[in-house]
Amino acid sequence: MDAPLLSSRQQRGFTIASTARLKQIVATTWLVPSQSGSGGYVVDTERRSCTCPDHELRGVDTVCKHRWAVEFFAVQRVTTTDGSTSVVSAMRKKTYRQDWPAYNAAQAEEKHRVQILLRALCDGIPNPPQGRGRPCTAVSDVIFAACMKTFIGMSGRRSGSDIKACADQGMLDKVISYNTVFDYMAKPELTPVLQELVRISALPLSPVEREFAADGTGFSSTVYANWFDNKHGRNQRKSKWVKLHAMCGVRTNILTAVEVTDATLNDSPFLPQLVRETARGGFQLDEVSADKGYLGRENLQAIANAGAVPFVAFKVNSRPEGPDVWKKAYHMFAYNHEEWLRRYHKRSNIETTFSMIKKKFGGAVRAKKPVPMANEVLLKCLAHNLSCLVHAIHELGTDPDFWPSPPAAMVGAAQ
């Protein structure tokens, strides 16, 4: 690449080469996964062909993103004296060693450790004062039961035996009924408490996390919207879903700040809030990575105000004019692109984080109304953070301590 900037196809090709598993079928033929996550395309580097629609529409002269992915990932070429080019070798994709003894220990003890950490976390939740009448169920116990239900992955009724086992072990004052959990999940005042718990649960890893990535993802539901499409003359049906906006540390995949919104809201306006919440938690921000959907002067300035260097992808039509933070980011993107790509590649860790949450705790929610849907997603985030802490205990020697003092926001929400 002699040009200082990559085209949009080259950028997407680099993303595929960096995050996906390309498979060499035979000689110069490669199987490249689709970015949509379904199927793949066959690239022949010798014939300069690809089976994707983009190549079929535009022909050999336009290199599609899948051919670029092969170029970035696998092909090394040499040019002979007569001007011909040939493939001489294929590079292996960079892999990272796993600390298997620590990983195995963390996996074997995860459920028990999560219960201990969750109990310690919930002990810092202030409960409202008891008045006259029937004794109230402690909010801290309800959140403990709700998070354990999410971690186990079963419905409220089927998780009852596990909740009873926690009560038998002294982690709950009494067995929490699944109906009580459902009632509290529908309360909007529970949402800021869960957001604060996610933030607090990440604090033990503030000494090791200095680089962060942000993005958004959706969680579907079993609720569907039905309408008649006049254009196509048929009924349409689409699942309703909510969107999670999140920031994570790129080393441990811990979520440092989260926000759950309606599915129609854009990602970009939430980046300053995610940056502020992460910095408020005591994290030192050195770098923040995000895709071009977050490109904006306000977002770059918010990252710079937190003391971090922004690595946000620029668009093809972006220009260097603007405030200093914009000019500096654009200059590195345009004229030191290889270094920029190396550091921007850390953004893929937020995609890994979303994949971890959805594979472990499900990519859909059981709730049918907006408030409990949002609270259910936040519980998935909390369960994910506790799992990350268990692995950090074994791999990094972390000793979690959640509560120097209860946050004021949580005291107000509990009352």
β-strand pairing of 211-229 with 234-249? antiparallel
Query: Please, which contacts does 14-17 make with residues 24 or more away whose CB atoms are closer than 8 Å?
Result: 14/68, 14/69, 14/72, 14/341, 15/348, 16/65, 16/66, 16/69, 16/73, 17/68, 17/69, 17/70, 17/72, 17/73, 17/74
Mean pLDDT of 151-163: 95
> SS3 sequence, 104-166?
HHHHHHHHHHHHHHHHHHHCCCCCCCCCCCCCCCCHHHHHHHHHHHHHHCCCCCCCHHHHHHH
CA distance 106 to 101: 9
**Does residue 29 carry a pLDDT above 80?**
yes
Cβ(271)–Cβ(262) below 8 Å: no
pLDDT band at residue 172 under the 50/70/90 scheme: very high
pLDDT band at residue 190 under the 50/70/90 scheme: very high
**Does residue 89 carry a pLDDT above 50?**
no
Sign of CA dihedral 176, 182, 186, 190: positive
pLDDT at residue 2, as a whole number: 39
* CA neighbor of 199 nearest in space, from 248, 143, 235, 234: 248
CA distance 299 to 271: 6
Cβ(308)–Cβ(283) below 8 Å: no
**Does residue 311 carry a pLDDT above 80?**
yes
**Does residue 93 carry a pLDDT above 70?**
no
Mean pLDDT of 120-141: 87
pLDDT at residue 3, as a whole number: 40
CA distance 378 to 220: 14
Lowest-confidence region among 70-74, 124-128, 291-295, 334-338: 70-74
pLDDT band at residue 22 under the 50/70/90 scheme: confident
pLDDT band at residue 289 under the 50/70/90 scheme: very high
pLDDT digits (tens, 9 = 90+) for 215-227: 999 999 988 888 7
**Does residue 182 carry a pLDDT above 90?**
yes
pLDDT at residue 78, as a whole number: 44
Question: What are the domain boundaries of the chain?
Answer: 8-90, 209-364
**Does residue 213 carry a pLDDT above 70?**
yes
pLDDT at residue 170, as a whole number: 94
pLDDT at residue 145, as a whole number: 97
pLDDT at residue 383, as a whole number: 98
pLDDT above 90 as % of the chain = 65
pLDDT band at residue 94 under the 50/70/90 scheme: low
pLDDT at residue 228, as a whole number: 80
Residue 170 Ramachandran class (φ > 0 left, ψ -120 to 50 alpha, else beta): left
**Does residue 353 carry a pLDDT above 90?**
yes
Coil/strand/helix, residue 299: helix
| 212 to 67, 114, 190, 273: CA distances (angstroms) | 30, 24, 27, 14
Lowest-confidence region among 122-131, 237-246, 369-378: 122-131
Mean pLDDT of 20-42: 85
209-364 to CATH, choices 3.30.70, 3.90.350, 3.20.20, 3.30.420: 3.30.420
pLDDT at residue 233, as a whole number: 86
More confident residue, 202 or 4: 202
pLDDT at residue 157, as a whole number: 94
**Does residue 88 carry a pLDDT above 70?**
no
Mean pLDDT of 394-415: 68
Q: What is the reported pTM?
A: 0.79
Mean pLDDT of 108-117: 96
* Mean pLDDT of the chain, nearest integer: 88
pLDDT band at residue 166 under the 50/70/90 scheme: very high
pLDDT at residue 131, as a whole number: 77
pLDDT digits (tens, 9 = 90+) for 235-271: 888 888 999 999 999 999 999 999 999 999 999 999 9
pLDDT band at residue 84 under the 50/70/90 scheme: low
Mean pLDDT of 187-212: 96
pLDDT at residue 235, as a whole number: 87
pLDDT at residue 132, as a whole number: 82
